Amino acid sequence: MGKNDEARKSQATKTVDGQRNVLVTGCSSGIGYCVAHGLRARGYRVFATARAAEDIARLRDEGLEVIALELADPASVQACAEEFLRRAEHAVYAVFHNGAYGQAGALEDISRAVLEQQFAANVFGWHQLTNLLLPAMRRQGAGRIIYNSSVLGLIALPFRGSYNASKFALEGIADTQRLELYGTGITVSLIEPGPVESAFRKNSLKTLRAHVDISGSVHHKKYQNAIRRMEKVGPAAPFTLPPEAVLKKVIHALESRRPRARYPVTFPTYLFSVLRRILPTRALDRVLRHVAHGEGKPE
Ligand SMILES: NC(=O)c1ccc[n+]([C@@H]2O[C@H](COP(=O)([O-])OP(=O)(O)OC[C@H]3O[C@@H](n4cnc5c(N)ncnc54)[C@H](OP(=O)(O)O)[C@@H]3O)[C@@H](O)[C@H]2O)c1
């Protein structure tokens, strides 16, 4: 590609005042909140999404441009994409897919409907949103799709099967899309955080209580231990990093001439990326049972 093509693509993804339009989902707290403010401070025109009316109002008060989005609702995803494209005048520089939750609980305690809900928010909503933005990116011959996956998209842990499965699915989507979009000027990157400070643990605990019959489960005792851990204030896991660690990788994925396919964040992700390649499955399982606070041991 010649220099003129590069310049044309770069122009196509900028608004008249020279800012780049980025859609960031799930900005009410945690990583999305940090990335939305961090990118805005860096000069991007950020469109932040949230779903609760009070979060939308709060983020607007903080100076962000906000669009309502419930990822599990196809009509909401459609309306969000239309609103973003309208306000950005179809100049889509990037989307940072981030809004998601972790349904805690053993797979045998998770109903089909609860698993479907997990996939509706963490997978189907993300896929639908990407598809709605791709035509604009294709027209420009440029665009960046960044998926916030997880170390749990690389390795499994007991009692997180629903979330695990959603992030494994996301890894499959991103890996496929990277192949399908090769040569279009549109890049696909996965961010893979290990433990990061956010409201994630608190929200996971809510989903456990809401959707799992804790007292009626064969895993009753393990749930009690897990609840105690999840209720702890401060980092529950070693090597926890602040969300700025993710922001740094998102900036690289947005600004590098050759964005990476995968960005590990935190020591556990680096460690497990290596271990899953070199260890046989049985040996890896032993390690994973050990790190899962005894949750992998029989009752
Ligand atoms: N924190 C970690 O240790 C960690 C590690 C690896 C990966 N991640 C990933 O990081 C991303 C952000 O999580 P976080 O850690 O920042 O947790 P968080 O503080 O709980 O933030 C999650 C965000 O996603 C939104 N969200 C949840 N379900 C949604 C839905 N159905 N529709 C629209 N928005 C929805 C939440 O909105 P509400 O406030 O309305 O619920 C919130 O804004 C997720 O993709 C998560 O899988 C986190």
For the cut 80, the answer to whether the pLDDT of residue 6 exceeds it is: no
Cβ of 193 less than 6 Å from ligand 1: yes
Cβ of 204 less than 6 Å from ligand 1: no
Domains of the chain: 3-291 (3.40.50.720)
Query: d(Cα 124, Cα 128) in Å, to the nearest integer?
Result: 6
Residue type, 96: F
For the cut 80, the answer to whether the pLDDT of residue 14 exceeds it is: no
**pTM above threshold 0.85:** yes
Cβ of 199 less than 6 Å from ligand 1: yes
Q: Report CA(28)–ligand 1 centroid distance (Å).
A: 9
The DSSP bridge partners found for residue 144 are: 94, 187
Q: Tell me the average pLDDT across 179-187.
A: 98
Instruction: Write the pLDDT tens digit of every residue in 195-235.
Output: 999 999 999 999 999 999 999 999 999 999 889 888 877 76
Cβ of 226 less than 6 Å from ligand 1: no
List 33, 101, 147, 163, catalytic entry: 163
Per the CB < 8 A criterion, the answer to whether 236 and 230 are in contact is yes
Q: What percent of the chain has pLDDT over 70?
A: 91
- With a CB cutoff of 8 Å and minimum separation 6, the contacts of 140 are 9, 12, 13, 91, 92, 185
163 catalytic per annotation: yes
